[in-house]
Amino acid sequence: MNNPSFKKLAEISPSRYDICMMVSKRARRIVSGSAPLTEQVEAKPVTQALNEVIEGKVTKK
């Protein structure tokens, strides 16, 4: 289970809604067949998407 701190996520965006939308949109792309953006590949798409957001590989448009 992945439990990132909100402080770390708040550095990306102060809005929880924005973070949720970034993660969910990226997870949908992963399920559709998009290649992972990080070297560490997770089994679950939401976990993979969250890691990519935390590492700064996915940003809000």
> At residue 59, does pLDDT exceed 70?
yes
CA nearest 45: which of 22, 20, 60, 28? 28
Which residues lie closer than 8 Å to 47 by C-beta, 6 or more apart? 2
Which residues lie closer than 8 Å to 5 by C-beta, 6 or more apart? none
Check if the beta carbon of residue 45 is closer than 8 Å to that of residue 30.
yes
pLDDT tens, 3-52? 778 888 889 999 999 999 999 999 999 999 999 998 888 889 999 999 99
Q: Tell me the pTM.
A: 0.84
> At residue 1, does pLDDT exceed 70?
no
